[in-house]
A = this chain, B = another copy of it.
Amino acid sequence: MQQQRPSAEAGEAGSPSRPTLESVAERAGVSRATASRVVNGGAGVREALREKVLRAVEELGYVPNLAARTLVTRRNQAVAVVVAEPESRLFSDPFFAQHLRGISRELSAADNQMVLLLIEEQRDYDRVGRYLAGGHVDGALLFSLHSADPLPEMARRVGLPFVVGGRPGWPGAESDRDLVYVDSDNRGGARLAVQHLQSLGRTRIATITGPLDQTSSMDRLDGYRDLLPDGDPELIAEGDFTPEGGMRAMSELLERRPELDAVFAASDLMASGALRVLRAAGRRVPEDVAVVGFDDLESVAAWTEPTLTTVRQDIEGMGRLMARLLLRRLTGPTPGPGPTSVITPTRLITRHSA
């Protein structure tokens, strides 16, 4: 680990006298303009001079003047990631860890700083909006948006390029030519799950949905309905993507339709809750009730008892894609007509629960 020793120039605590660009130029024996060009990443400086300047920067502990630098370069090399979820969910649902890992690796590779901003409560929106407007980041990745989420409009208003994770659900999004989003094939994935249950001969297939103000939940429910167009509405229960929500929904379903023989849970965490309730109710999985999840979370699906048959989506890959699309947007041409979307495929992973 690289350890930096206190430098004499750091000055007295509380009132550090910062070295100036002039002092860097003087020490390096170059003009102020040359020093400025090197410090601000401009081209056209000979390598030998560049090295002299960088050595002087290092020796003096010089840091470019902050806000002023941003005014010149208009680039922070930093991207905000805004997650509209309470930190209790962010930290307990491995989905987010996998998603953020993809984002942070891609940003790192492009030497961009990931700046994570959480939205816990309604009043946090204004503050986050202010930070996004404050010139601290070059762009934003927005995810876990709910249907009337103000974040995209906030970013747009201040001219901040952004990419959305998940199909946008707000009115007018379909015809918004400036919108870029990444999603997985939620509807197709749900169809895979139900098809698999039907191929096993199951006929009373229930579903536990995610929160129905999120498009991923709606799309998975649509996929379920595609294959069960005349399905019994009492076989549908709404969860909230947590294990506890899955438990509650499974209990409701068992009470309403004790004869059910299969469940498609729209997330692995909800499926894990459902498995617990089925076990407690004395139902054998998969013999009495077959269960299919959604996500294929690394730390969940292979560890439930029995292990979980589930629909795999490439969570880390979606994170990487979001980051890549945003970085391209920050440097490239304006996008063409209509929203740009990248839909990543899903596939069925068969384990023991179905």
- Are B334 and A134 within 8 A (Cβ)? no
> 8 Å CB contacts to B: which residues of A127-182?
127-128, 130-131, 133-136, 146, 148-150, 153-154, 156-159, 170, 176-178
| In the assembled complex, A230 has its CB within 8 A of some CB on chain B | no
- Are A159 and B117 within 8 A (Cβ)? no
Interface string of A237-279 (1 = CB under 8 A from B): 0000000000000000000000000000000000000000000
Partner of A156, one of B6, B91, B133, B153: B6
- Are B63 and A2 within 8 A (Cβ)? no
- Are A136 and B136 within 8 A (Cβ)? yes
Of A96-104, A185-193, A284-292, the one touching chain B: A96-104
- Are A135 and B70 within 8 A (Cβ)? yes
A178 to B13, CA, bound (A): 6
Q: How many copies does the complex hold?
A: 2
- Are B120 and A117 within 8 A (Cβ)? no
| In the assembled complex, A214 has its CB within 8 A of some CB on chain B | no
A290 to B77, CA, bound (A): 52
Of A23-31, A108-116, A204-212, A343-351, the one touching chain B: A108-116
- Are B115 and A157 within 8 A (Cβ)? no
| In the assembled complex, A43 has its CB within 8 A of some CB on chain B | no
| In the assembled complex, A3 has its CB within 8 A of some CB on chain B | yes
A354 to B111, CA, bound (A): 49
Q: A113-B127, A116-B117, A334-B14 are in contact. Are A157 and B63 (CB under 8 A)?
A: yes
- Are B66 and A150 within 8 A (Cβ)? no
A146 to B1, CA, bound (A): 9
Q: Which residues of B contact A133 (CB under 8 A)?
A: 63-64, 66
A7 to B66, CA, bound (A): 31
- Are A2 and B122 within 8 A (Cβ)? yes
Partner of A61, one of B64, B108, B157, B177: B157
Closest approach, in angstroms, between the C-beta of A37 and any C-beta of chain B?
18
| In the assembled complex, A78 has its CB within 8 A of some CB on chain B | yes
| In the assembled complex, A306 has its CB within 8 A of some CB on chain B | no
Q: Which residues of B contact A153 (CB under 8 A)?
A: 3-6
- Are A156 and B10 within 8 A (Cβ)? yes
Closest to A151 in B: B4
A206 to B14, CA, bound (A): 45
| In the assembled complex, A342 has its CB within 8 A of some CB on chain B | no
- Are B130 and A113 within 8 A (Cβ)? yes
- Are A76 and B136 within 8 A (Cβ)? yes
Closest approach, in angstroms, between the C-beta of A40 and any C-beta of chain B?
12
Closest approach, in angstroms, between the C-beta of A314 and any C-beta of chain B?
18
Closest to A11 in B: B159
- Are A70 and B66 within 8 A (Cβ)? yes
Partner of A113, one of B3, B101, B117: B117
- Are A334 and B13 within 8 A (Cβ)? yes
| In the assembled complex, A228 has its CB within 8 A of some CB on chain B | no
Closest to A135 in B: B66
A291 to B104, CA, bound (A): 38
A125 to B13, CA, bound (A): 22
Closest approach, in angstroms, between the C-beta of A197 and any C-beta of chain B?
31
Q: Which residues of B contact A71 (CB under 8 A)?
A: 66-68
Pairs A-B, 3 closest by C-beta atoms: A66-B135, A91-B97, A13-B178
Between-chain CB contacts (< 8 Å), 5 pairs: A10-B156, A13-B334, A18-B158, A61-B157, A67-B67
